[in-house]
Amino acid sequence: MRAMFHDWPGLALKSFYWLFVLYLFLPLSLMVAVSFKDASFISFPLGNLTIDWYAKVIQDKQFLDACLYTIMIAAATTAIATVIGVWIAMLIGSLRGATQYVAFAIACLPAVVPGMISAISLRIFITTIDLPTGTVAIILGHVVHAVPFVVVMVLTRLRSMPGNLVDAARDLGADSTVTFFRVTLPYLGPAIFGGMIFCLLLSSDDFVRTFFLGGYRPTLPMLIFARVQSGMSPEINVMATLVLVVTAVVGLYAEYLTRRSRIR
């Protein structure tokens, strides 16, 4: 039977897959390559290579500041979004029927609304509640965006949880708080961890919400956006490459951890 799949359709699919991988990686690898270019403009072929741009970017105060700012916002977003996301998931998990459906739809709303509209509506909303644009507004916007993803991940895990675990804990005299912290929360662990990594990446990547909610202090995507608009230079490539490396390491590490927990 396998032989049937290994004749021409299989082969065609395989080559198509690798072409697609090439398509995904080619622009990014070109971007990394240009970061070593020994000229102040972007063009091919590369010619001489240098790491001067890296030295320059590492000393770029604006870049370092943007890095710190991005990490700070991402950390705050992750902490808040995880708590709220798990809380909402617990609520939805305990509901039944139509209420559950409605609650789930509302919980997922920010993930479905197109990014631009979400950003605009939040911009209007923070004006209504008299919150100035800036760090708090950015974090709020990122949390709203990240919560649905945490909810979905946690809910998926919650569904696979045997109900008798909670019953057993309650029979043995644990009150609902103890049960939640000692039984449910540890069981949800892997999903929560995955959700947290997702929050980190989501927050540090976000552009449109930060653009409308932010003040004058740029996050990394904002900084790169502004630099691209004001003129190309391999400096941008260096910044993007550094960000790329860091996010890839975080992503791979998370993938490794989740896979390990799945095997165990």
- The footprint of other proteins on residues 234-253 (CB under 8 A) is 236-237, 240, 243-244, 247-248, 250-252
Quick check: 232 binds other proteins (CB under 8 A)? yes
Quick check: 133 binds other proteins (CB under 8 A)? no
Number of residues that bind other proteins (CB under 8 A): 109
Q: Among candidates 190, 187, 191, 82, which has minimal Cα distance to 179?
A: 187
Q: Which span (50-58, 59-67, 131-139, 140-148) binds other proteins, by CB under 8 A?
A: 140-148
Subset of 164-203 contacting other proteins (CB under 8 A):
165, 168-169, 172-178, 181-183, 186-187, 189-190, 201
Quick check: 47 binds other proteins (CB under 8 A)? no
DSSP state of 180: I
Backbone angles phi, psi at 218, to 5 degrees: -85, 145
Calculated CA dihedral for residues 241, 247, 249, 253, nearest 10 degrees: -170
Quick check: 114 binds other proteins (CB under 8 A)? yes
Closer to other proteins by Cβ: residue 65 or 80: 80
Closer to other proteins by Cβ: residue 67 or 143: 143
Report in angstroms the alpha-carbon separations of 141 from 145, 208, 214, 233, 242.
6, 10, 10, 31, 25
Quick check: 217 binds other proteins (CB under 8 A)? no
Q: Is 216 helix (H, G, I), strand (E, B) or coil?
A: coil
Report CA 157 to chain centroid distance, whole Å.
19
Tell me, what amino acid is at 111? A
Q: How many CB atoms lie within 10 A of CB 214?
A: 19
Phi-psi category of residue 97: left, alpha or beta, with phi > 0 → left and psi -120 to 50 → alpha? left
Which of 107, 139, 154, 199 touches other proteins (CB under 8 A)? 107
The mark string for 60-99 relative to other proteins (x by CB under 8 A, - otherwise) is ------------------------x--xx-xx--x-----
Subset of 11-40 contacting other proteins (CB under 8 A):
13-14, 16-17, 20-21, 23-28, 30-31, 34
